[in-house]
Amino acid sequence: MTSVFDDVRALIGVPQYEETAEFPVERSYVWTMCASVENGNPLFWDDPVAQEITDGPIAPPTMLSVWFRPHHWAPGRTEPHLPLKVHFDLKERLGLPEAVMTDNTMVFHEPVRPGDLLTTRQILRSVSDEKTTKLGTGRFWVIDVEYTNQQGRTVGVESYTGFGYRRHTGTGGGAGGDAS
């Protein structure tokens, strides 16, 4: 008989939740992002410069995950879109009600360009043995999110380290739980 933990470990290295974005990479959203952080990089604002340096306009590399966060409403959509489903699956399957993201790595490959239609998939890379931290007792896991463009070329990979846990009695939560 296999345990829940064995079932979870069997998912390591298996691509899950492949999906193609609902709409192409939007240039106006690039400008919204640049405006939000006052990013004046001419690659995003000056077409002749973008043509010369990057063979045409590109999106800021750190916008990678934005292209899979949907608009707030879309006709006919009934289910809320939940990013990083593998993370929430692990919390549920391992019975760990709380979770924090401890760090996030982004690696950038082929530039993302306006009009690109990206595809993503999630791959569980590791699950630790049970550990106890100041937050509680649980497990660390690493999930990769791979992004490819319509030519099948990798544009980037994000790695998230999560810690799913049960609180010690009488303690509060952590500060970094932005994606729990």
Partner 1 sequence: MSPLAPVLVFGDVAEGDLLPSLHHDVTATTVVLGALATRDWRPMHHDKDFALERNGTRDIFLNTPNQAAWFERFITDWTGPHGRLGRVVFRMRDSVFPGDTMVLDGVVSELNLDDTGCGWVGLDITLSVDGDVKSTCNARVALPVDDDDNPWHRRGDRWKP
What is the radius of gyration, based on Cα positions, of the chain? 19
- Are the C-beta atoms of 64 and 156 separated by less than 8 Å? yes
Is the Cβ of residue 41 or residue 132 nearer to partner 1 in the bound state?
Answer: 41
For 117, list phi and psi in degrees, rounded to 5. -115, 110
Smallest separation, CB 123 to partner 1 (Å)? 18
Is the Cβ of residue 36 or residue 169 nearer to partner 1 in the bound state?
Answer: 36
Smallest separation, CB 1 to partner 1 (Å)? 39
Which residue's structure tokens are 């707030």?
A: 72
Tell me the pairing of strands 15-20 and 119-127.
antiparallel
- Are the C-beta atoms of 137 and 103 separated by less than 8 Å? no
Distance CA 156, CA 119 (A): 11
DSSP bridge partners of 143: 124, 160
Residues that bind partner 1 (CB under 8 A): 29, 32-43, 49, 52-55, 60-63, 65-66, 69-72, 101-111, 172-173, 175-176, 178-179
Smallest separation, CB 3 to partner 1 (Å)? 32
Distance CA 141, CA 161 (A): 6
Is the Cβ of residue 5 or residue 45 nearer to partner 1 in the bound state?
Answer: 45
Smallest separation, CB 145 to partner 1 (Å)? 13
Is the Cβ of residue 43 or residue 94 nearer to partner 1 in the bound state?
Answer: 43
Smallest separation, CB 102 to partner 1 (Å)? 7
Is the Cβ of residue 42 or residue 97 nearer to partner 1 in the bound state?
Answer: 42
Q: Which of 140, 115, 138, 112 is nearest to 125 (CA)?
A: 140
